[in-house]
């Protein structure tokens, strides 16, 4: 049986302290018109499905360029350690300062978990069917992943030049420093 210590009057200005029960077999608190289980510490167990358990964010602003059709890392990456193997990871990517230079090429972008391809989310970035340069701003994706692990997991992007004959850019800017690309990882309770 647990004990309740109360201070304050009937006006509602005061404190209510719940003391731990003598045994650990019953830790349920019942309130008028509702029942539920009290979360007793800062772990993520007990949260309902769909709850956001943690958020990780990273940014990258260094100019990146590529003229090969072979994929290479963009420099944008973030790592998260899921608290449960059943959790989902919701990934938001926004690549800024996207463009192509000359020749008939296009920007290709994909998202990876560690070394595993998840989605190729841009295939024709900046394509003009001509040799004209084309800087078009941002490329984005939102992807729900099921990594099935509690180990540290890295998410990153890679890019390539589709035409294999001219430069494509990320994080470019017309003047001053580079545009800022971001990646956000959200652990979602399953």
CATH of the domain at 162: 2.60.120.760
pLDDT at 33: 64
Query: Do 29 and 95 sit in the same domain of this protein?
Result: no
pLDDT at 129: 81
User: Using CA atoms, how far apart are residues 82 and 79, in angstroms rounded to an integer?
Assistant: 10
For the chain, the domain total comes to 2
Query: Do 10 and 77 sit in the same domain of this protein?
Result: no
User: Using CA atoms, how far apart are residues 7 and 22, in angstroms rounded to an integer?
Assistant: 22
pLDDT at 4: 53
Query: Per-residue pLDDT for the chain (190 aa), expressed as one digit of tens each?
Result: 445 555 555 555 556 666 777 777 766 666 666 665 555 555 556 789 999 999 999 999 999 999 999 999 999 999 999 999 999 999 999 999 998 887 888 999 999 999 999 999 999 888 888 888 888 889 999 999 999 999 999 999 999 999 888 899 999 987 656 899 999 999 999 9
Query: Do 10 and 66 sit in the same domain of this protein?
Result: no
pTM, full prediction:
0.76
Query: Do 32 and 98 sit in the same domain of this protein?
Result: no
Q: In 51-178, at which residue ranges do the beta strands (DSSP E only) sit?
A: 52-60, 64-66, 72-80, 88-100, 107-113, 116-125, 134-145, 153-161, 168-170
Q: Is residue 46 part of a domain?
A: no
Query: Do 160 and 95 sit in the same domain of this protein?
Result: yes
DSSP conformation letters of 30-44: EETTEEEEPP-SSSS
pLDDT at 1: 46
Q: Looking at the chain, how many residues does it have? A: 190
Query: Do 171 and 120 sit in the same domain of this protein?
Result: yes
- Among candidate residues 57, 62, 155, 140, the one with its CA nearest the CA of residue 95: 140
Query: Do 115 and 172 sit in the same domain of this protein?
Result: yes
Sheet holding 116-125, edge to edge: 72-80, 153-161, 107-113, 116-125
152: helix, strand or coil: coil
Q: Is residue 43 part of a domain?
A: no
Residue 155 and residue 112 in contact, taking contact as beta carbons nearer than 8 Å: yes
pLDDT at 126: 82
Query: Do 95 and 162 sit in the same domain of this protein?
Result: yes
């Amino acid at each position: 049986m647990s004990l309740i210590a109360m201070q304050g009057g009937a006006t509602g200005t005061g404190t209510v302290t719940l003391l731990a029960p003598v045994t650990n077999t019953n830790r349920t608190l019942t309130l008028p018109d509702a029942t539920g289980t009290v979360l007793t510490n800062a772990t993520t167990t007990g949260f309902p499905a769909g709850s956001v358990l943690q958020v990780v964010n990273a940014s990258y602003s260094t100019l990146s360029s590529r003229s090969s059709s072979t994929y290479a890392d963009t420099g944008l990456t973030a790592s998260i350690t899921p608290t449960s193997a059943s959790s989902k990871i919701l990934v938001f990517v926004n690549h800024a300062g996207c463009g192509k230079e000359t020749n008939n090429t296009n920007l290709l972008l994909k998202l990876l978990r560690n070394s595993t391809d998840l989605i190729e989310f841009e295939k024709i970035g900046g394509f003009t069917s001509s040799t004209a340069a084309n800087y078009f701003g941002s490329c984005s994706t939102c992807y729900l992943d099921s990594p099935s692990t509690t180990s540290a997991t890295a998410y990153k992007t890679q890019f390539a030049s589709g035409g294999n004959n001219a430069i494509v850019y990320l994080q470019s800017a017309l003047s001053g420093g580079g545009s800022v690309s971001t990646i956000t990882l959200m652990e979602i309770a399953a």
